[in-house]
Structure formats: C-alpha cells, structure tokens
Amino acid sequence: MATRMLGYASFIMLAIATYGIFFVAGPISGEGDAGRIVYFHVPMAWNAFLAFFVVFGASIAYLRTSNPRWDRLGRASAEVGLVFTTLVLITGAIWGYPIWGTWWSWDPKLTTTLILWFMYLAYLMVRSYAEPPRGPRFAAVVGIVAFFDVPIVYMANYWWRSLHPPPAIGPLAEQQPSPTIVWILMLSLVAFTILYAFFVRVRVEIEQDEAEYATMLGEAPLGA
Amino acid sequence: MALDHYAPFLLSAFGITLAVLVAYALYLRSRLLGARRRYSARNVSTAAPRVTTAQAASSANGPSAP
C-alpha cells in the first residue's frame, strides 16, 4: 500500500514539475531553452548522490551485522543510482552540445562522474557474479570505496579548472539564482526524490520475494 | 509555450529521460510480478493434494470389480 502511494505521489509530482519546467520557468540567460535541461539534470545528479550515500551506509551496516536486509537495500539503491547517473551523463551531453559545442569533454566533473558510473557498475557486477556467500561482502567493500568519488565529483569545479558550471544553489553557489529557478528546481528535486524512494522500495520487494522463493526451494538466493 | 532554436535539445533530453524511467519502471514491474507468480505457483503446487502410488495404480487399472 505504501509502495503504491509512493508510485502515485511520484507520478503526480513529476507531472507538476514537468508543467513547471515547460510552462512556468523561462529560458536561462545565455543558454536558451537548452538551459531548462538543468531542471531535471541537477535533481537526478543529487538523487544519484543520495542513492550512493545509501549504498555506503547500507554497506557499512551489512559488514557490521551481516543482515541481508542491508545487502538488499544497498543493491537496490546502487541500481537506481546507476540509472540516474546514466541519465545525468546523457542529459549533460545533450546540454553540452549547444552550449559547449561538443557532446563530451574530458573535463574533471564529467570524467569523475563517468568513473562514478563505472564504479557502481562494478558494484552490481561483483554483487551478481561473485560466489556466494562472499558476493555481498565484496560488493559492500566496493560500495564503501566507490562512495569516496561522490565528494570528488561535487568538488571537481573547485579543485580543478572545469568547463562545467558551478552549483546553482547550495552553500557553494557563487550567485543566487532567481526565486522561480530555485522554486522549480526544488519541486523537481522533491519529485525525483519520491521517485527514487519508490524505485528502491519496489526493488527491495523484488529481492525479498526472490529470497523467500529461493529459501522455499532450499537454495541460496539468486546472486547472494 | 514558445520554445527557441535549442528546443530539439531540450525535448530530446526530456524524451530520453522519460523513456529510460518508464522502461526501468516496466522492468521492475515485470520482475516483481514474475517473482510473485513463481512464489504463488509454488505455494499452490505444495498445497495441492498429492496422489499416492496406490491411488495412481488403481485408477490406471480402471474401475474395480464389485
């Protein structure tokens, strides 16, 4: 029931955010309508960071307790985070072509984000293919190590010379944008955060069902 | 809504995002339903009454003589 409510809430919030992006927000100066990509590119990036923070916490909890619930949460969050990071890379490339004149640049922010994507792909591969019962433990170690790339991605603008614009809002923002931009960005952030929670919850339910089924058959859970 | 000459980039980014998210939601739905179907099918098969060897042999021989 709670999962279904999350699904409906994410659908409604995404619909409202879409309306805001196309009908309320104006073009961003110097970027035209390509600048509106920021309204879903940035919230997806923040949610990818949130997803990887959850993987980090769940991995530590799993190594301390060996409770499979933490392993399931970590795996679910890593998968959803990887989907969001994939979309961040794609939408960033589509934004970059009209603004920078190229789809891709080996800029520190983009390169560290691509490394982040590969690290969580590695996490899921280790989790799926390593022999049980070591798979979850190996994956938990990868989940902890990979998280150290998240602050590097965030700080890349400040540590190295970067083409990528600095954060639009937050403590490191260089100038505060207009209230309309902040309002729509926040709306979109809330919508994507609810969607993230919905996806993770469904993914954890799948893991639980498959684990129960495997237990019923007297086998180790798939990929465990 | 009047879009400028950058509109194709905005619309393609939005379209790809929507398509990937919907595809992922459908993938999750199909896995969830598959897991539950297997689980309930297994429950039904374990709950069904079992036919013993003697019953099977007697039904294979046809009706018994009075």
pLDDT confidence of residue B47:
61
Q: Which of A27-31, A57-61, A220-224 has the highest mean pLDDT?
A: A57-61
Predicted TM-score (pTM) of this structure: 0.85
Q: What is the pLDDT of residue B65?
A: 47
The yes-or-no verdict on residue A186 having pLDDT over 90 is yes
Domains and CATH numbers, chain A: 2-24+34-167+177-215 (1.20.120)
Residues of B in contact with A218 (CB under 8 A): none
Q: How far apart are CA A100 and CA A96, in angstroms?
A: 5
**Mean pLDDT, to the nearest integer, of A3-19?**
93
Q: B17 to chain A, minimum CA–CA distance in Å?
A: 6
Structure tokens at B34: 């598959």
Return the sign of the alpha-carbon dihedral for residues A155, A161, A163, A166: positive
Shortest CB distance from A94 goes to which of B1, B7, B13? B13
Checking if the pLDDT of A26 tops 80, the result is no
Tell me the per-residue pLDDT of A132-183, one tens digit each, with 9 for 90 and over. 678 889 999 999 999 999 999 998 888 888 888 877 666 666 677 778 888 9
| Average pLDDT score over residue span B1-27 | 90
Question: CA of A202: which chain B residue's CA is closest?
Answer: B28
Phi, psi of A32, deg, nearest 5: 60, -150
Q: What is the pLDDT of residue B28?
A: 94
pLDDT digits (tens, 9 = 90+) for A92-127: 999 999 888 889 989 999 999 999 999 999 999 998
Q: For B30-58, write each residue's pLDDT tens digit.
A: 998 887 787 777 666 666 555 555 555 55
- What's residue A202's pLDDT? 95
* pLDDT over threshold 50, residue B66: no
What local confidence, expressed as pLDDT, does residue A106 receive? Answer: 92
As a whole number of angstroms, the distance between CA A112 and CA A48 comes to: 14
Nearest to A212 by CA among A202, A224, A197, A200: A224
Q: What is the ipTM of this complex?
A: 0.88
Handedness of CA A161, A166, A167, A173 (dihedral sign): positive
The arithmetic mean of pLDDT across residues A185-203, rounded, is 95
Residue A61 pLDDT > 70: yes
Task: Look at residue A220 in the predicted model and tell me its pLDDT.
Answer: 56
Please report residues of A whose CB lies closer than 8 A to that of B12: 94
Most confident of A41-45, A132-136, B1-5: A41-45
Query: By the CB < 8 Å criterion, does B48 face chain A?
Result: no
Reading the block at residue A71, the tokens are 């392993």
